[in-house]
Structure 1
Amino acid sequence: MSDEFEYNKLCICTNLRGGDILPSCGKVGSKELADALEQGLKDMKLPYEFQRLHCMGKCHLGPTMRLSPGGPFIMGAKLSDVAHILNLLKDGNFDQLAQEFPLKESA
């Protein structure tokens, strides 16, 4: 992966599975994370489309985000990480973002 590759979309799963019984991104704060990221992208005028998705198939590892097209997953971020994530996106530090919030399991 190279920091020179251009991503234009940040996707986040906000799924709440099984009536809040099964592991899911929604159960571990992805809705609040999505709200903060979406507002931060607007406030900083960053050129990323923001998309909330129903599922990315990694509910047990969430919150799950991914840069698109074809970019890295960004896993396990918390609300307190939003400013840092936005700064990494602003600076185009995609490799660092993927290293700090890695996909720890292939699924």
Structure 2
Amino acid sequence: MRPAELSFPRLVLVCGNIREDGTESCGAKGGAELHRALKEAVRVVHPEIRVSKSGCLGNCTSGPSVTIMPDGVWLGDVTVNDVPKIVNYLGGHLAALDVPEDKQCCGGGCCKMP
């Protein structure tokens, strides 16, 4: 079986998970609002990029979390105020996220928005 070709260059996942037991989760910390704001902003500027709500990304204590694929960028503590930075990053302005080098992600780690 071959992997399917994606019809979009990037996929942005916004965690919207709400834990049933009431413990800390991205959805309870504004994940749904973040998803709506990011989806609207990206749709206007970069309609070729897909923004989707996801289940748990495994970073609840630093949520809401956002993952940008295939870039491998993981972000935590993201708010609607960070949406313009993310939109600029998606437009090729790599410095737009302004994530310090020592907090850049690899291997599923998480960068916190400054």
TM-score (norm 1): 0.75
Kindly state the Cα deviation for residue 50 of structure 1 after the two structures are TM-superposed: 1.3
Kindly state the Cα deviation for residue 74 of structure 1 after the two structures are TM-superposed: 1.3
Kindly state the Cα deviation for residue 98 of structure 1 after the two structures are TM-superposed: 7.2
Kindly state the Cα deviation for residue 71 of structure 1 after the two structures are TM-superposed: 0.7
- Residue 72 (structure 1) aligned with residue 73 (structure 2): yes
Which residue type is aligned with residue 19 of structure 2? R
- 1:1-107 superposed matches below 5 A: 8-18=10-20, 21-69=22-70, 71-93=72-94, 97=97, 99=99, 103=110
Which residue type is aligned with residue 66 of structure 2? M
Provide the rounded CA distance (Å) in 1 between the counterparts of 2:35 and 2:46: 16
Provide the rounded CA distance (Å) in 1 between the counterparts of 2:64 and 2:34: 8
Bigger radius of gyration among the two? 2
Residues 46 and 90 in structure 1, CA contact (< 8 A), matched pair in contact too: no
Q: Which runs of 5+ in 2 are unaligned?
A: 1-8, 105-109
Q: Count residues in correspondence.
A: 97
Kindly state the Cα deviation for residue 84 of structure 1 after the two structures are TM-superposed: 2.2
Q: Would you tell me which structure has more helix in proportion to its own residues?
A: 1
Which residue type is aligned with residue 97 of structure 1? L
Identity %: 25
Kindly state the Cα deviation for residue 54 of structure 1 after the two structures are TM-superposed: 1.1
Deviations 1:42-71 (A, max 9, x none): 111343111211111111111111111261
After superposition, the CA RMSD in angstroms is: 2.5
Which residue type is aligned with residue 62 of structure 1? G
